[in-house]
């Protein structure tokens, strides 16, 4: 049975409850992170905690814990849950207020802190062998996509729209440029160069994105961070999406047409291999894994 953490207490997930007056429930007023643990070690935790601090700062929610206290809490959660490899979800909401009011005023309210962890399922071999299908959709999200807010209704609707179309991810287009997936970052390979859109308020600064760029640099693979016109997707030799939970996933069909030759490409296999080697070294304690 999964054990979670809520406001100072470890308890079974099924028993964890928050009051209905929590602004997370009423307004989607909070921030979250998803942090993988490999061999029960939290991967790139510092980067996740920095991004959380940035999200909370943007939302004007006080960060309830110092980095060391976050580390202790999350390490305890991972130790007390099942699985050598786990996916930790944490969220902080603005807390429980006496009245439903859009404005949150100057009242000092304790933020609600919740964290849970689940074993990461074994990777589906079909994905590395065949890749996934994706569709392009108009980005209907707000303009602070760099903030990892729990308000995920557009992302959820877009992901479902992709699934309804027989695909596994939606690639989001705004003003003619493709930015990222509904819950992932985007990479394109063209003539041996690995391209990804630059960080901006229009996409989440993915931790996996940074690691992929780092591994590519170390391997001498040329990279570019630049805008990608949606039309360029059709000229890609390879497309990938990345996230902490899915790592690197090749997109082999886009809007019903093959990407490149329709199979995961050579650069995907190279980066996937480097990523797995890096993870294995991290698991053995040979790399710090913080970048």
Residues 188-217 that bind ligand PDD (CB under 6 A): 204, 206-209
Residues 112, 151, 243, 252: which binds ligand PDD (CB under 6 A)?
243
Residues 34-73 that bind ligand PDD (CB under 6 A): 34
| Residue 227 CB partners (closer than 8 Å, separation 6+) | 177, 197, 198
199 catalytic, yes or no?
no
Is 151 near ligand PDD (CB under 6 A)? no
CA distance 33 to 176: 29
Considering only 72-80, 97-105, 182-190, 276-284, which stretch makes contact with ligand PDD by CB under 6 A? Answer: 182-190
Please tell me the count of residues contacting ligand PDD according to CB under 6 A.
14
| Residue 29 CB partners (closer than 8 Å, separation 6+) | 23, 59, 61, 93, 94, 104, 150, 151
| Residue 265 CB partners (closer than 8 Å, separation 6+) | 189, 237, 238, 250
> In whole angstroms, how close is the CB of 142 to ligand PDD at the nearest point?
12
* CB-nearer residue toward ligand PDD: 167 or 183: 183
* CB-nearer residue toward ligand PDD: 209 or 253: 209
Is 245 near ligand PDD (CB under 6 A)? yes
CA distance 75 to 83: 13
> In whole angstroms, how close is the CB of 45 to ligand PDD at the nearest point?
12
| Residue 9 CB partners (closer than 8 Å, separation 6+) | none
> In whole angstroms, how close is the CB of 183 to ligand PDD at the nearest point?
4
CA distance 72 to 69: 5
> In whole angstroms, how close is the CB of 99 to ligand PDD at the nearest point?
30
CA distance 75 to 267: 34
* CB-nearer residue toward ligand PDD: 61 or 212: 212
Is 184 near ligand PDD (CB under 6 A)? yes
Q: For the chain, what is the radius of gyration of the CA atoms?
A: 19
Residue 20: CB atoms within 10 Å? 9
Is 86 near ligand PDD (CB under 6 A)? no
Binding region for ligand PDD (CB under 6 A) = 34, 180, 183-185, 204, 206-209, 242-245
Residues with catalytic function = 148
């Amino acid at each position: 049975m999964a054990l979670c953490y809520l406001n100072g207490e470890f308890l079974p997930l099924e028993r964890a409850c928050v009051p209905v007056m929590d602004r997370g429930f009423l307004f989607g007023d909070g921030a979250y992170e998803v942090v993988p643990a490999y061999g029960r070690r939290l991967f790139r935790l510092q980067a996740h905690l920095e991004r959380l601090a940035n999200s909370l700062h943007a939302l004007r929610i006080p960060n309830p814990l110092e980095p060391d206290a976050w580390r202790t809490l999350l390490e305890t959660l991972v130790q007390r849950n099942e699985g050598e490899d786990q996916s930790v979800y944490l969220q902080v909401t603005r807390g429980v207020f006496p009245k439903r009011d859009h404005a949150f005023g100057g009242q000092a309210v304790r933020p609600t802190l919740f964290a849970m962890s689940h074993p990461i399922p074994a990777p589906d071999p079909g994905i590395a062998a065949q890749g996934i299908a994706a569709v392009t959709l108009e980005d209907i999200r707000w303009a602070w996509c760099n903030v990892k807010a729990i308000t995920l209704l557009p992302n959820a609707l877009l992901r479902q729209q992709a699934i309804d179309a027989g695909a596994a991810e939606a690639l989001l287009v705004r003003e003619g440029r493709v930015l990222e997936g509904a819950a992932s970052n985007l990479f394109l390979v063209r003539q041996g160069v690995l391209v990804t859109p630059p960080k901006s308020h229009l996409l989440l600064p993915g931790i996996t994105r940074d690691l992929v760029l780092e591994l590519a640099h170390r391997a001498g693979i040329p990279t570019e961070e630049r805008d990608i016109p949606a039309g360029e997707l059709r000229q890609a030799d390879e497309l990938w999406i990345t996230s902490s939970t899915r790592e690197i996933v090749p997109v082999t069909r886009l809007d019903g047409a093959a990407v490149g030759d329709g199979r995961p490409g050579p650069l995907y296999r190279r980066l996937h291999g480097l990523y797995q080697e890096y993870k294995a070294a991290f698991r053995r304690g040979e790399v710090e894994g913080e970048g």
